[in-house]
Structure formats: C-alpha cells, structure tokens
Structure 1
Amino acid sequence: MKKRRVYNILNIVTVITVTMFFSCNDSFKQVQKIGISENEPIGVDYNINLKYTDSGRVKANLLSAKRLDYSNRDFPFMEFVDGVTLYVFDDENKKSTVVADYGIVYSNTDLIDLQDNVVITTHDGRVLKTDQLFYDQKKEWLYTNKPVEFKTEQDLIKGNGFDSNSKFTNAEVLEVTGIITLEE
C-alpha cells in the first residue's frame, strides 16, 4: 500500500513537472515591454557626445541634443529629432563634417537616413547640400534622389540625385540641371 502511494505521488509530481516544462516559454522580451507602449521609445538621451575610436585615435564624434531609442520595436531604430552633427576624421586626422536637422539610424540594415538641411563639408572644401541623404554603413555608400548642390574646387553642380563612396573619390551628381564654374 505504501509503495502504491509513493508511486502515485511520484506520477503526480512527474505530470506536474512535465506540464510546467512544456508550458514555459521565453517571455524575457514580453517582460521588457511591460509598461512600455510600442509607440514610445524605450529610452531618451539628451546632449549626446559620442566618440568612436580605433587604435586610440578618434575616428568620429557624434553630437546631438536628443536621441530617441526605439530598439524595443520589431524593426529597431534610433531617431535624432533635434538635429545631429558628425565629425569624421581620416587617417591623416583631417576632419569632414556632416550636419542634418533630423536623422534615423536603422539597426538591422545599418542604414542612416539624414533629412532636412543636410550639409556635408569634406576636409578638402567640397560641400554637398540636400534635403535627404542616405548612408549605407556596410557598403560605405552615400546616395539620394533629391535635388542637390555639390560644390567642388572648380564648379557648383546642381542636379537631382547623388552617388558617392564615403571618401568622395567618385562623387557624382545625377541628372545635372546646371553647372556654374567658379573663379579662383
């Protein structure tokens, strides 16, 4: 009788354990979202001054008044709502500047979308102005299909669209609408 009772208790414990094991799931992400609306950022940062270094040298410095972190979404991104300024330093420590009134960085695709009064000034004096510019971080490629002004040493080129690598060694204004030759 005692053996049968122990056997029944052991069966009950086994059934409960197996039931609990199969009913468990990974709810860590659900726990993280408790109290956070999916439309709200998971974090807000103010007065950002981020520096990216490589081998002890500053390669980039990002400044922004406000960043919203939406990494809690299925397609995570960071939004710079009050503008962004980025200083990029080459191997010879020459500085190029990127300024925009608004920016979004998409984490999954490594795509940066800069909007409104986008101005890039390279270390050698070339200036690109447009209302929207995309930067593909994986391919290190800049592009837009919006109207642009691109000032080189000799010319001010206007057009609809722009393509270039990140070093501007093959910068090209697409659908050129005008070229003004600058006097030296």
Structure 2
Amino acid sequence: MNHLEKLLGLLFALNLLAACNAGIENPVPKIKYTGPTMQSGNITTLYSDSARLKIKLNAKMQWQFENGDAEYPEGINLTFYDRNQQVSSTLRANYAKYDKQHDSYFARGNVVVNSIEKGETMKTEELHWNKVKRQIYTDKFVTVQTKTDIIQGNGLVSDDGFIHWKILNPTGSIIVEQPQ
C-alpha cells in the first residue's frame, strides 16, 4: 500500500500543478516586428513611362518594409529626365524615406536640387516630393541660386523638374530690374 499511496499522492500533486497553470496567461507580451524586411546596398532603380526613362534613383543603402515603404538611411540621389531623355534636374539628400501609400518621398539633410535646364540650385534641410502631383515643397528655410541672384526665404513650392518655383516667404533684399 505504501507504493499505491505514493502513486496517488504524485498523481494528486500533478493534477494540482496542471490546474494551477491552466489559468496563467503568457507573461511575455508578443511584440510585432516593424523594422525592415529587406536591406539592399548600392542600388539603382529606374522609373519609366511608355518605355522612356523618367527618373533614376541611386542609393548606398535601401531598407524595404512590409507595407511597401522604403528608407534610404545613407542618402539618395535622384536624376530626372525630360521627354528627350536628357537630364533635366537632380536631387540629392543625406536621408530619404518613401511612403508607398501616398507615393511620395521625404528628403532630409543637405538637400540640393539642381535644374540643369535653367542653371539654378536650391538648398534646404527638408523637402517633400509628391510623385502623383509632380510637385516638390518645403516649409523650411531655402536658398535658391539663379544665374544672377541668390534668393532666400521660408517655404517653397515647385514642379518636380524645378523649372517653375516659388518661395512662399522671401527674406532679405531682392533686386528687380525695371524694363526699358
């Protein structure tokens, strides 16, 4: 009987243990991973329309996310082409992020846009590019250097080719020549 009592006692203890653990939830919460799902280095991406090159994107590093967004933590270089396949403008920044839902880019850090056609350069710290509207804009301080002037101000709106642009709040003095 001694063995039978020990066996029954062990079964009773195991039953108690199982009953006590049944109500305990997992004390460690599940954490959903939101980081990049893919990392690529030294990338070149070409965007075309009707077999015509429109944009070339170069970056040292690209992080792809599950939702289709992308980040360029080491900077981005964009080259825009006109309908004759000639370079019309360029954009460079130290960091960029692509938002797939809005089909737009955000660039930050030493952002420089060059209009090859007009010979003008714009510099700012932040810039947004809406691909759908084909528009670039910022509310930050900007400097635009034309062939004859340097214009500064806060905020800028332009077409993505940087051909037709407008500084929203110009600062400093601007020389305007009178027509003859």
Normalised TM-score (structure 1): 0.71
- 3-state SS of paired residue (2:172): strand
- Cα deviation for residue 52 of structure 1 reads 2.1
Match of 1:47 in 2: 42
Conserved? CA contact 2:144–2:150, under 8 Å: yes
- Partner of residue 155 from structure 1, selected from 136, 149, 152: 149
Conserved? CA contact 1:66–1:80, under 8 Å: yes
For structure 1, which runs of at least 5 residues remain unmatched after alignment? 1-35
- Partners of 1:170 and 1:52 in 2: CA distance: 22
- Partners of 1:179 and 1:141 in 2: CA distance: 27
- Partners of 1:179 and 1:155 in 2: CA distance: 11
2:87 matches 1:92: no
- Cα deviation for residue 93 of structure 1 reads 2.6
Query: What does residue range 72-111 of structure 1 map to in structure 2 within 5 Å?
Result: 72-73=66-67, 76-95=68-87, 96-111=89-104
- Cα deviation for residue 179 of structure 1 reads 4.4
2:139 matches 1:142: no
Number of paired residues? 143
Provide the aligned C-alpha RMSD in A.
1.9
- Cα deviation for residue 53 of structure 1 reads 2.8
Query: What does residue range 112-131 of structure 1 map to in structure 2 within 5 Å?
Result: 112-124=105-117, 125-131=119-125
2:57 matches 1:62: yes
Query: What does residue range 19-30 of structure 1 map to in structure 2 within 5 Å?
Result: none
Conserved? CA contact 2:80–2:161, under 8 Å: no
Q: Deviations over 1:25-48 (max 9, x none)?
A: xxxxxxxxxxx9523211111110
For structure 2, which runs of at least 5 residues remain unmatched after alignment? 1-30, 176-180
Greater Cα radius of gyration, structure 1 or 2: 2
- Partners of 1:111 and 1:55 in 2: CA distance: 21
Conserved? CA contact 2:52–2:83, under 8 Å: no
Normalised TM-score (structure 2): 0.73
Match of 2:159 in 1: 165
